[in-house]
Amino acid sequence: MPIENFKQYIQYHTQLSNEHFNELTKNIKVDVLKKHTRLLNQGEVCRSSFFVSKGLLRLYTLDHQGKEVVLQFAPENWIVGDRSSAYFNQASDYFIDCIEDSEIVFIDRQLIERASDIDKNFRIYFDNLLHNHIRHMQRRISFLLCATAEQRYMEFITLYPDLMLRAPQWMIASYLGITPESLSRVRKELANKHFRTI
């Protein structure tokens, strides 16, 4: 069940008791969503972050030509949302949708604030999540600006080891900032070097 997976995730990283978890999540929204379901539209305010109990989400935007640009994937036990929109009550620049049929727990700001008041370890963990997200985005910008296509791909499979079999190649190429043809070429070159890319 999605809520049980979320409970295991939270209690693994914090010391939130069963009693407090049950109290905090008694009205939490949980949903089973079909592939292609949209969770956030560009222009909307992001009211929740999304914990992926099962499935795969992506966060993306559109460039000036209307082409989709993938910024983040979220497989199982990842949390994805638009923090800027949620915390500053601003229209989002992004879309979030399901790449696979997915089981999602909706996490609103109030739940995080209440849990942080109850358990200091919860607050520390979510602060660390924020800092880790910032670190990841800075590293991602650096790779997009400075790294070769092969280096970007190697970083991708380190971060998302099973996504080559789950996400369409064009989405992965979009995330890497390269064309699908370039991605195919990188994979062939690595295969020639006897590197197994799946």
Q: Is residue 138 part of a domain?
A: no
Range of the domain at 91: 2-118
Q: Is residue 81 part of a domain?
A: yes
Q: Is residue 59 part of a domain?
A: yes
Q: Is residue 70 part of a domain?
A: yes
The span from the CA of 67 to the CA of 117, in Å, is 42
Using alpha carbons only, what angle is made at residue 171 by residues 129 and 70, rounded to the nearest 5 degrees?
Answer: 45
Beta bridge partners of 45: 91
Beta bridge partners of 44: none
Please answer whether residues 33 and 41 qualify as being in contact, where contact means their C-beta atoms are separated by less than 8 angstroms: no
Q: Is residue 162 part of a domain?
A: no
pLDDT above 70 covers what percent of the chain? 97
| Residue owning tokens 């924020």 | 130
Is residue 194 pLDDT above 70, yes or no? no
* 48: confidence class by pLDDT, cuts 50, 70, 90: very high
Is residue 98 pLDDT above 90, yes or no? yes
Which tens digit of pLDDT belongs to each residue from 170-183? 999 999 999 999 99
Any residues with CB less than 8 A from the CB of 73 and at least 6 apart, and which? Answer: 56, 57, 58, 59, 99, 160, 163, 167, 171, 175
Q: Once rounded to an integer, what is the mean pLDDT over residues 184-198?
A: 79
Beta bridge partners of 190: none
Its pTM surpasses 0.85:
yes
* 198: confidence class by pLDDT, cuts 50, 70, 90: low
Q: Once rounded to an integer, what is the mean pLDDT over residues 20-45?
A: 95
The span from the CA of 113 to the CA of 117, in Å, is 6
* pLDDT given at position 195: 62
* Of residues 183, 156, 148, 159, the one with CA closest to residue 169: 183
Is residue 197 pLDDT above 70, yes or no? no
- Domain count along the chain: 1
Mean pLDDT for the chain? 93
Q: Is residue 65 part of a domain?
A: yes
Which tens digit of pLDDT belongs to each residue from 125-144? 989 988 988 998 899 999 99
Q: Is residue 174 part of a domain?
A: no
Any residues with CB less than 8 A from the CB of 95 and at least 6 apart, and which? Answer: 38, 40, 41, 42, 59, 60, 61
Q: Is residue 75 part of a domain?
A: yes
Q: What CATH number is attached to the domain comprising 55? A: 2.60.120.10
